[in-house]
Structure 1
Amino acid sequence: MFQRDFFMRMIQQMGEAAGVIMGLRQQRKHEEALLVIDDLLDRQFRMNGKLIRQLSDADLVRMMTTNGVVETANLSGVALLMKEEAAILSELGRTDQAYPIELKAFHLFMRLALLDAPAMLRTPSEEAEELAGRLGEYELPGATKLLMLEWYEGDRRYDEAENMLHELLEDGALSRGEAVDFYSRLLLLPDESLEAGGLPRDEVLDGLGRIKQDTEKV
């Protein structure tokens, strides 16, 4: 009950904050909007904004885990504020500053989706999908692509997961053994799930066969 009440309060606070920030952006008061975000990052969470910006997304998850339970409300709040901050910096033409912040928000939303965290303003996957589109013009780091593979698979978007799998193989960031494991996991699923995920069983078998052939050639 306490966790649910806390999450509902966070939803209300983030909704109000988003409204204030959007209003300032519409008035082209971008610097004031950034100050609002700074203030919220400093006082809303258990660590200050400077530390939040310094920590990696994985470190943030660890820092916001108590007795094995991830504080998804706090993580969602951080991700939303960082997403807004990156959008404002982009509007100001400060893309070099916006990119790492946007990337971290993307990672956080993917991790929240994998944790099956409840929706704050939108579901974590919806937020991650928006950021995936905005970051599409960049060549993303290997760690981001690996997380995307995990996210797509967890989101049951098996065709997109396979596309990312091949990209990682081409980059040398994924082993053929890991690719075999991916297809083997999919083969354990019912036909209906595979078809709903855009990758019917015959395509899974074909993909697995090609990976095994490539492995034998090496």
Structure 2
Amino acid sequence: MVFQRDFFMRMIEQMGEAAGVIMGLRQQRKNEEALLVIDDLLDRQFRMNGKLIRQLSDADLVRMMTTNGVVETANLSGVALLMKEEASILNELGRTEQGYPIQLKAFHLFMRLALLDAPAMLRTPSEEAADLAQQLDGYELPRATKLLMWEWHEGDKRYDEAENILHELLEDGMIPREEAEEFYRRLLLLPDESLEAGGLPRDEVIEGLERVKQDRE
């Protein structure tokens, strides 16, 4: 545990320094140089090179960065932060076709880190994910992203947001009605105070469950 904590603190320091360098270059309009700094960090900072990191899915990255059942959240956080910066620069340069998939992967990684209750690096994983969710608001997001958002919102106890995503998934036929029923049944097991704090009072949970049941009949 001491080793993991020390490693995480070193990673925070390194990512803080990297963020400062990248920000300085961006302020000087040296975006291409900032991209080279990110490339270099992705190549030498982690146990795999930048090319492989970009090719792997977010789920594969989590698996690759898991040792003896323990997820290396420091490394995952570092990758997610660098990818978020890279996507931001590419989008600023008008290279959105390159930026969008990298931005989406960073979003997935931060949501997964939030679900793992990973400690904050520069900000908490949920704060980073919320920032990316806002940036991606204008896009029609893939099914895998919406499913992860649904899980993330529920895990963060934002039950009203989880329900909004659930409605999208149902309307698009992306999940069976039974899964929606299970969501509402899970919420009914929670105390009233938790439901109120999560923006979805008990009466609305009951209404939602009844609506889904009726739609299935």
Q: Same fold (TM over 0.5)?
A: yes
- TM-score, normalisation: structure 1: 0.99
Give the corresponding residue for 1:181: 182
Give the corresponding residue for 2:202: 201
Secondary structure, counterpart of 2:111 in structure 1: helix
Read off the aligned partner of 1:149 and give its amino acid letter: W
Deviation at 1:53, TM superposition (A): 0.2
Q: How many residues align?
A: 216
Q: Which aligned pairs between 1:99-138 and structure 2 lie closer than 5 A?
A: 99-138=100-139
Secondary structure, counterpart of 1:173 in structure 2: coil
Q: Which aligned pairs between 1:18-167 and structure 2 lie closer than 5 A?
A: 18-167=19-168
Post-superposition CA distance 1:30-75 (Å, at most 9, x none)? 0100000000000000000000000000000000000000000000
Deviation at 1:91, TM superposition (A): 1.0
Deviation at 1:215, TM superposition (A): 1.0
Separation of aligned partners in 2, 1:170 and 1:13: 44
Secondary structure, counterpart of 1:117 in structure 2: coil
Give the corresponding residue for 1:11: 12
Q: Mind listing any 5+ residue stretches in structure 1 that lack a counterpart?
A: none
- Structure 1 stretches (4+) deviating beyond 2 angstroms? none
Post-superposition CA distance 1:178-200 (Å, at most 9, x none)? 00000000001000000000000
- TM-score, normalisation: structure 2: 0.99
Read off the aligned partner of 2:49 and give its amino acid letter: N
Read off the aligned partner of 1:140 and give its amino acid letter: L
Read off the aligned partner of 2:185 and give its amino acid letter: S
Separation of aligned partners in 2, 1:75 and 1:44: 11
* Identical columns (%): 86
Read off the aligned partner of 1:46 and give its amino acid letter: R
Secondary structure, counterpart of 2:163 in structure 1: helix
When the two chains are superposed, the root-mean-square deviation of aligned CA atoms in Å is 0.4
Read off the aligned partner of 2:134 and give its amino acid letter: G
